[in-house]
Amino acid sequence: MKMSFVVLVVKLVVDTEDKEKIMNVDNMMKLADFLDNIDSDRFNIADWVSEIEAYDDGVEYRFGDILDQNICQTAGCIAGWALALRNGGQLVVVDEDSYDFYNNPNAMLLADVKTDAGEWLGLNFEEADQLFIPNAYSIWHEYASDYGLERDSGMNFYSNIHPKYAADMLRRIATGEVSFL
């Protein structure tokens, strides 16, 4: 009887650890420091990776496939920049039929961006969702007033997140000041 109890307790602990992630505070802070120092045009919360088209009255973003900290015409969101930092400064998003998918160590499938970025930060799937996708079910909605955020008209999305807001949110999460929903 005593032995069965020990086995049950050990199994319960292992099962619980499989479901929980331990936040990687170092990577959260590294990403926060990076986002604090990039030009605001290089941050686009709406897409993992974007190409920037500059105009006299501002910039326009188009979905892209390369995010590189050394190429000024690229922009990324929190997840995109997390993976670029993980990869030494570059993220290449491809489909699995692409030559780069098999030959570029910085290439990854678009569908894997959120999961891989969450893993690098030590976030589980739900936490990554709340941080990377700023809708009414996210941590951004809960703390919108702290940053003066308003949802886009007719949409359930916050697109006016500045990289400094993202850096601050990362630090607040990492220090435990802010909790996921």
Residue 58, classed as helix, strand or coil, is strand
Is-above-0.85 flag for pTM?
A: no
For residue 14, being part of any structural domain is answered with no
For residue 104, being part of any structural domain is answered with yes
Q: For residue range 18-71, list pLDDT tens digits in order.
A: 346 799 999 999 999 999 999 999 999 988 888 888 888 888 888 888 888 988
Q: Please tell me the distance from the alpha carbon of residue 70 to that of residue 62, in angstroms, as a whole number.
A: 18
- Residues above pLDDT 70, as percent of the chain: 78
For residue 4, being part of any structural domain is answered with no
**β-bridge partners, 58:** 55
Which residues form the domain of 161? Answer: 22-175
For residue 167, being part of any structural domain is answered with yes
Beta strands in the chain (DSSP E): 49-55, 58-63, 66-68, 74-76, 90-94, 107-109
Q: Please tell me the distance from the alpha carbon of residue 161 to that of residue 148, in angstroms, as a whole number.
A: 9
Contacts of 130 (CB under 8 A, 6+ apart): 137, 138, 139, 140, 180, 181
Beta strands in 36-170 (DSSP E): 49-55, 58-63, 66-68, 74-76, 90-94, 107-109
Query: Other C-beta atoms within 10 Å of 70: how many?
Result: 7
pLDDT category of residue 98 using cuts at 50, 70 and 90: low
For residue 163, being part of any structural domain is answered with yes
For residue 160, being part of any structural domain is answered with yes
Count how many domains the chain has: 1
